[in-house]
Structure formats: structure tokens, C-alpha cells
Amino acid sequence: MPEKKFDVINLDPFPARSGGAAERRQRDADALRTIAEDAITDARTDSEIAREFISHGELGEKSIANTQKELFRFLTWCREEAGKTLRQLTVADLNGYKDFIRSPPPDWVSTTKWPRSDPRYRPFSGPLSDASRRQAMIAVKGLFAYATQTGYLRRDAAALVKHVKTASASRITRYLTPDALELALTVVATREATTPASIRRRERDRFLLTSYIHTGARLSEIVGANMGAFYTEGNGRWWLDVLGKGNKPRRLPVPPEMLAAFRQYRVAYDLLPQTARSDDTPLVLSSRGEFLVRITDEAAADALKAIFAAAAVAADQLGDADMAATFRQASAHWLRHSMLTNHANNGVQLKTLQETAGHASIATTAAYLHKTDNERHDEILASAGLGKESK
């Protein structure tokens, strides 16, 4: 069996070119003979139409990277496994790819993430979950739809391929209770700090934790903001502007605790407590070095994980093994779940939470509402003579 070649495929975004059909055919008649006369694309190859597709939408940096990854896998499969171009693929082929990524063969898998330029690179680190397969096929179906709409393809075979079905939980369960969040805040606020760098780190981490607790923002939304995104319109209400999925702007209410943590954090970096709308200093700063440098999403996630680890130790010392176990599982995204869950249970309208969270559907927001389940639980136990005090 010939060895698979996972050569680099250039999927860097570029603006769609504007040359007409006649010009394209003059440039490469053979490559374009199957493209419609009135096509509105300059793409001559499958990789070029993929690059155009990636450039087409207003995708964020992460969405572009994810789409590139999925289309690299798919186009490599087309070349190495199917031996076909996009216009040669059938519905059966595409369903075959959907099954292929469920459990890729060993020669497509490496648990080590080598660079794509490394000969040891493999497209997969293991089988894909149903949720990951669904996202992979969404990228493939999106490419086919775009290629058909622009005239690069005559028919959209992927339109006849059904989405991967995923089991969706009826309730969000990965969240921290108000008591757990209070303990985490206490742990980071009382962290020993004896050097300027450790003081900066403590105050930054306290601000980070406070921000995610109160806003429910996605990790990248706060890390990607600037200092000037904090502002008031003069009526006593403070806001934080962020860019959500698809570069959609959203403004988040800032409570007094978060504003106080923000100002104390700035002072630790020798900045004035107040800022201005024109301040383009990164909102989340590295605690090392002399320059004001933005940290990465990964560094912010690691900082929060370190707080959770310390909080787990504190919970153990308090004799709360359940809380300690929860902290050891928690990640940064749990803070988003926690904010939405706790506010939903406190009676905040789902429409308000939907707008704050940036959810496209209110059904997504409704998954955070546990209050009715808790009441049902208490009623059943009370009827059986097993009240809260007996638990």
C-alpha cells in the first residue's frame, strides 16, 4: 500500500480575485473547462476555492484556524484516500468521509502534534467525537455550498449529506456554585506576593477571575479586549465592550466588584486607576517584563486553572471533598456556565441572559436554567419526609 503523503496544502485566506471568465480561461483553459461561463470566482483548483471560502466570511482568528484544519484534513483525504477532486465526489464519497473521521486509520494518527512541515505530522490525534465530526462536516458542507454558489461546482453533493447527530444534554452541569466562586476569589485575593511581578500576577488573576464570574464572557472575548473597552456613559452604569463569535460586538454590564478589581489591577501595573475610551493597551497583561504585552488565551486559561487547583486544596482543608473534586475538574469555560446558571436560577430573564451571553438561540440559554429541577427535587424529597436537613 503506498505511503500516505500529508503534504502542506496552502489554505491561507486571501481576498477573492475579480478577473472575468474569459481571462481565467485564457490563463488556464484545461483547469477551468468545467467551470461555468458566468462563474464569480477566480479559483482554478480545489485549494484555491477553499482559500476563497475561508476568506469569504467575517471569521475570527480561531474560526479561520479551525476551518483550515478541517479542510486540510478533507482535501488530503480527497487526494490520498478517494483520489478525486471536489467535482468528482459523490454523495456516497462524502458519507464515506463522514465515517472515515469517526475512526481514522493508524497511519493518519499521531498523538504528538507535530508541525505540518514535519514528516511525522498526521492530521488526527485519534477518533473524532460526534460533536467534532459534526463540526468537520459543517466545514465541508460550507465549502461545497460556497463552491456551488460561485459557479466553481455545478452541483452541491454535500447538500444531500445529513448532519452528524449529536446527543445534547438537557442541562448544563459543568458550573461552580456561588460558594465555590467565593472560595476561589478568596484564594486568589490572599495569594502571597512579595515581588512586583508576583503582585502584578495576583491582581491580574483576581481581575480575570472576577471578570469571568460576572460577565460570563468567552475566554477570548476578554483576553482580546483593550483597556478602553471599559467605559461609562455617565449614568453610573459601567460596561465592557467585547467582540464575540463572528466579530459581533457585545457590551457586558460591569458590576462594582469587577470595576474595583480592574482599578486595583491597573494600579499594580503602575497605571492610573481610570482609563479612557481611546486607551488601546491590552486588557489582560503579562506580569513579566517591562512592556505591556497581551497574554494568550492559553496563558489566561492556565492562570485560572492554577486558581482552581489552589481552591481545591482550600476546599479539602475545609472538609468539602465534593467542592474540591469539582475544582479539580473545572476549566475557564466553567465560569461562563457558572455565571449563566447562577443568574438563571436567580430569576434573570432568559432573553437578558441570551443577549449577555451572545447566544444565537434562546434554547441554548435555557439549558442553564436549573431552578425548576431543583424545586421538583425538593418537592419529591419533602413529600417522602426527606427534607434538605436530612441530606
The angle at the Cα of 351, spanning 348 to 357, to the nearest 5 degrees, equals 85
Residues in the chain with pLDDT < 70? 1-4, 14-37, 57-60, 167-172, 368-376, 380, 383, 386-391
Report the candidate in 138, 153, 69 with the shortest Cα–Cα distance to residue 98: 138
Do 149 and 164 touch, CB atoms closer than 8 A?
Answer: no
pLDDT of residue 317: 96
Do 105 and 4 touch, CB atoms closer than 8 A?
Answer: no
β-bridge mates for residue 108, sequence order: none
Largest interatomic CA distance in the chain:
85
Do 78 and 101 touch, CB atoms closer than 8 A?
Answer: no
- In the DSSP assignment, the letter for residue 16 is P
Q: Is 150 helix (H, G, I), strand (E, B) or coil?
A: coil
pLDDT of residue 21: 43
What is the rounded distance in angstroms from the CA atom of residue 387 to the CA atom of residue 345?
Answer: 20
Do 294 and 286 touch, CB atoms closer than 8 A?
Answer: yes
Report the candidate in 81, 74, 30 with the shortest Cα–Cα distance to residue 50: 74
Spatial neighbors of 282 by CB under 8 A, at least 6 apart, are 226, 227, 292, 293, 294, 295
pLDDT of residue 4: 58
pLDDT of residue 283: 96
Q: Are strands 249-254 and 230-232 parallel, antiparallel or unpaired?
A: unpaired
First to last CA, the chain: 63
What is the rounded distance in angstroms from the CA atom of residue 296 to the CA atom of residue 285?
Answer: 9
Q: Is 218 helix (H, G, I), strand (E, B) or coil?
A: coil
Do 141 and 74 touch, CB atoms closer than 8 A?
Answer: no
Do 212 and 336 touch, CB atoms closer than 8 A?
Answer: yes
Report the candidate in 258, 262, 229, 254 with the shortest Cα–Cα distance to residue 243: 229
What is the rounded distance in angstroms from the CA atom of residue 283 to the CA atom of residue 204?
Answer: 10
Phi then psi dihedrals of residue 241, to 5 deg:
-90, 130
Do 185 and 314 touch, CB atoms closer than 8 A?
Answer: no
Do 362 and 351 touch, CB atoms closer than 8 A?
Answer: yes
C-alpha cell at 301: 486559561
Which strands form 230-232's sheet, in the order they lie side by side? 230-232, 238-243, 249-254
pLDDT of residue 342: 82
pLDDT of residue 19: 44
- Could you tell me what percentage of the chain is helix, strand and coil, using 3-state DSSP and rounding each to the nearest 5? 55, 5, 40
pLDDT of residue 76: 93
